[in-house]
Structure 1
Amino acid sequence: MTIHSRGFDFLKEVDVRLSVELGRTDMKLKDVLALGEDSVVMLERLTDELLDVHVNGKLIARGEIIAQGNRFGLRIVEMAGAAAAGESAA
C-alpha cells in the first residue's frame, strides 16, 4: 500500500502550539513567593545563545529574537537535527 503525501494535506490545518523558550532557572519556592514588581530573575541562557523553538513541547528549531515594527518576532536560524544531519553527511 502506497500513501501519497497529498493524502495527508488535511493535517496542515491542525492547530499546534508553537512556543519559544527564552531561558530557565531553578528557584526555591520562598524566592518565587518573594517576587514582585521590579524583581529580576536571572536565566541560565546567555544573551548570545539561540532560543529554543518548540511545537507541542517538541524542539523543532533554534532562532533569534528580532524586532519588526513595534512587535517581537523570531528568525529561525537552524532546524533541530539539521546540524547532526549535516555532520553525518560529511
Structure 2
Amino acid sequence: MSDMSEADAAPARERRDTRNISATPNFDLLAGVSLRVSVEVGSTTMPLSELLSISEGSVIELDRAATELLDIYANGTLIAKGEIVSVDGRYGIKVAELVAPERGWAGVERRG
C-alpha cells in the first residue's frame, strides 16, 4: 500500500499551476487566435406586432439604466463590463471590471 500512495503523490508534485493560463508554454499557440468581441448595451422583449410597427425615429426602451456598465462578450461569452468612450471620433469601450477572474471559467456566463 505504501508504494501506491508514494506513486500517487509524485505526479501531484510535478503538476503545473494551471490557474494562470498565460504562464503555460502552450498559451503561445492560442495567442494569435481571433475572437469576436461585442458589447451589449441592453435588450428588450416585444411582441412581433410591436416590432413590425417601428419606424424611423421610434425609440425602443432597453432593460438597462444609462448609468449601468455594459456587457463585453468574446465569442458570446461574458468576459468583462465597461463603459463607452470616444476615441478619435469613434466609439470605444473602457474595461471597468473583469467578470469572475478568480473563479476561472466556472462563473462565466455564456450567451445563447
- Do they fold alike, i.e. is TM over 0.5? yes
Give the distance between the partners of 1:82 and 1:62, measured in 2 at CA: 12
Structure whose alpha-carbon radius of gyration is higher: 2
Unaligned 5+ residue runs, structure 2? 1-13, 17-22, 104-112
Residue of structure 2 equivalent to 1:29? 48
Structure with the bigger percentage of helix: 2
Q: TM-score w.r.t. structure 2 length?
A: 0.68
Aligned residues: 85
Whose RCO is larger (CA < 8 A, sep 6+)?
1
Q: After the TM superposition, which segments of 4 or more aligned residues of structure 1 sit over 2 Å from their partners? A: 1-4
Residue of structure 2 equivalent to 1:50? 69
**1:36-61 residue CA offsets vs partner (Å, 9 max, x unmatched):** 11111010100100000011111100
Structure with the bigger percentage of strand: 1
Identity %, equivalent residues:
39
How far has the Cα of 1:82 moved from its partner? 4.7
Unaligned 5+ residue runs, structure 1? 85-90
Q: TM-score w.r.t. structure 1 length?
A: 0.83
**1:17-69 residue CA offsets vs partner (Å, 9 max, x unmatched):** 11100000011000111111111101010010000001111110000000112
How far has the Cα of 1:72 moved from its partner? 0.6
